Chains A and B, each alone.
Chain A
Amino acid sequence: MRSKSSFFIIPYVLWLLLFVVMPMILLAVNAFTNGQGQVSLVNLRAFLTNGACLKMMVNSFWYAVLITGLTLLISYPLALVIAHCRHQRVWLLLVILPTWINLLLKTYAFIGLLGQHGLINQALQLIGLAPRQLLFTKTAFVIVAAYIEIPFMVLPIYNSLHALDQQIIAAARDLGASSWQTFWRVVWPLTLPGVRAGVQAVFIPSLSLFMITRLIGGNKVITLGTAIEEYFLTTMNWHMGSMIGVILIVIMVLVLLATSGKEQNK
C-alpha cells in the first residue's frame, strides 16, 4: 500500500515544492539581494532608515488593531445573540451569505453609500448635520474593512459559544453568579479560543489590504499591502517589495505567536 499511496501524493508534494517552498525562498532571496543579484542588506537598511517606511509600518499595524477591535466589538454580541436564538443555522447562514458576494462589489457599494450625496450623508442631513467628506478618509477605510471582516469574526466566536456546555452556565447561575459575572467569569474565558481564532482571521488580512485602501481610503491610507503592490506593480522594485513582504510575514508570525501562546500553556 505504501508505494501506491506515495504515487498518489506526487502532485501534492509537487504543489508544496512549487507553490509553497519555492515562493517563500524566492521572496526571501529577492528581499536580501540588490538589483545586481548580489546578497545585500540594502533593502532592509533602506526600509529601516526611511522614516516614511517606518511610519507606514506602524500605521498599518495600528489600522489593523483598529479594524480588529471594531470587528470584535460588533461581532461578539452578534454571535452571543445568535447563539441564543431559535433557527441559529438560518441566522448563521445569513452572516456567511455576504462573504459569498464578491469583495469588490461590497467595497464598490460603499463608494455609493459614503459618497458626497450618498445615503450616509443624507441620513446625517436628516438629523441636522452638514454633509461631509466621508469617502477617501481613514475612518471610511476602517469601517469598510471591519464590515468586510465581520463574518470571519462571528463564525469562530459563535462556534465556541455553541460548543459551550449549557450546564456550566446553569452551574454558575446556581452558585449565585449574576448574569454579568457569569459572562465575565465563565462564558468569556471559555470562548477565548474562538476570539483568538477570530482575531487571527481578521488581523492578518487587515495588515495587507490594498484594494480597499485604494477604492475607499483614496491614497490617504498606505498599508504594508499597498506598499507591496506599489513596489511590485508600479515602481517594479521587486527587491524592496519582497523586503516589505518579509517584514509583513515577520509581523504576522509574531501576531500568531502572541494570540496562540496562551493556549499552549493549558
Chain B
Amino acid sequence: MKRIGRALYLILAFVLLYLPIVYLAYFSFSSGKDMVRFQHFSWVHYQVLWSDKELLAIFLQTIILAILSSLIATAIGTCGAWGIFRLRGYRRKTMLVLNNVLMVAPDVIIGASFLICFTALGIGLGFFSVLLSHIAFSIPIVVLMVLPRLQDLDLTLIDAAQDLGAGRGVIFNQIVLPEIMPGILSGLFMALTYSLDDFAVTFFVTGNGFKTLSVEIYSRARQGINLEINALSTVMLLVVMLLAGGYLFLTRQHELALGARS
C-alpha cells in the first residue's frame, strides 16, 4: 500500500515536472498555429525555424558566448580557488564571502548593478558587456567547484612529490592538476549552463545590437504563441537529453570502475 502510494506520487510529480516540456514538443509537430488543438503532423515549424536566419544567428551567438565566457571564467576561477586555498584566517573568510556575493544576489540586482558599472566605466552595451557579465557571474561557481577538490587534496602527496625530486611546475601539472580536474570540469560545465540559462542579467546589460536566445524568446513570447519557438525548444530538449545521457553513461562507467576497486 505504502509502496503504491510512493510510486503514484513519484509518477505524478514527474508527469507534472515534464508536462510543460512535453506539451511544447508535442505542439511543435502540429500544423496549426496555437497550442490548443493538434491539427495534423507536420514539419512546417522546423522548416520555418531552419529558414529563420536571424534566430539561427542568435542561437550561434548564444553558444559562442557560453563557450567563451565559461572557458575564461574557468581559468580565472581556478586561479582564484588556488589563491583562496593558500590564504588562511580572516583573509580567506573575506575572500569567500565576497566570492559568494554573486551566488546569492538575485539576477535583477546583478543585472542592474552591472548596468550602472558599465555606464560608469564607459563600456558600451553589446556583445562585450554581455560577455564580461557572463564571465563575472560564472566565476564564483567555478571557485566553489574547484576549492573543495583543493581542500581534499592530500598535502602529503605534494610532500611526496617534493621528496622524489619534483619541482614546482611538475608538482602543479602532474599532481595538483589531475587531482582537481574533476572540480575544474564541473565548474566549466556549471559556467556553461549558467551562461546558456541566463536571461535577467543579459536583459539588463545588452544593448539593441546583441541578443541571446533567452532575450529573443522573451520578446517573441510577449507577443504570444509562436510554434516556431516550440520547434526550437524541442531541438534544445534533444540536445539536453543527449548531454544527460552521456553524463549518466560516463558516471556509470566511473562507478563501475570504482566498484571493481573496492
Contacts and interface: CB of A to CB of B under 8 A. Distances in A.
A250 B199 CA distance: 24
Given A12-B76, A12-B80, A15-B139, A105 B24 contact: yes
B6 A4 contact: no
B243 A27 contact: no
Contacts of B225: 111-112, 115
Contacts of B199: 102-104, 211
Interface in B123-148: 132, 135-136, 139, 143
A211 B107 CA distance: 11
B108 A93 contact: no
Interface stretch (B12-20, B41-49, B149-157, B178-186): B12-20
Contacts of B20: 106, 109-110, 113, 147
A47 interface: no
Nearest to B24: A109
A9 B221 contact: no
Interface in B85-111: 86, 95, 98-99, 101-102, 104-110
A110 B229 CA distance: 13
A252 interface: yes
Contacts of A74: 13
Interface string A201-214: 00011011011001
A104 B218 contact: yes
B68 to A, nearest CB: 15
Given A12-B139, A208-B106, A101 B204 contact: no
Interface stretch (A38-46, A80-88, A187-195): A80-88
**Contact-residue bracket for chain A:** 35 or more
A91 B10 contact: yes
A150 B241 CA distance: 19
A145 interface: no
> What interface size band does chain B fall in?
35 or more
Nearest to B218: A104
A148 B116 CA distance: 29
Contacts of A101: 21, 233, 236-237, 240
Contact of B108 (A30, A91, A238, A245): A245
Nearest to A96: B244
B205 to A, nearest CB: 11
Contact of B23 (A15, A18, A119): A119
Contacts of A119: 19, 23
B136 A245 contact: no
Given A12-B76, A81-B9, A211-B218, A23 B104 contact: no
A81 B115 CA distance: 44
B50 interface: no
A78 B17 CA distance: 11
Contacts of A102: 196-197, 199, 213-214, 217, 233, 236
Contacts of A200: 104
B223 to A, nearest CB: 11
B136 A208 contact: no
Contacts of A105: 21, 24, 217, 229, 232-233, 236
A202 B19 CA distance: 21
A142 interface: no
A44 B214 CA distance: 33
Contact of A214 (B76, B101, B222): B222
Contacts of B19: 113, 119
A85 B79 CA distance: 40
B243 A24 contact: no
Contacts of B101: 20, 24
B204 A249 contact: no
* B95, B139, B200 pick with most chain A CB within 10 angstroms: B200
Nearest to B86: A5
Interface string B61-99: 000000000000001110110110010000000010011
Contacts of A111: 35, 221, 224-225
Interface in A22-76: 22-24, 26-27, 30, 74
Given A23-B114, A98-B17, A208-B108, 13 more contacts: A5-B83, A11-B75, A19-B139, A26-B116, A82-B10, A101-B237, A103-B214, A104-B214, A104-B218, A109-B24, A112-B35, A115-B36, A210-B108
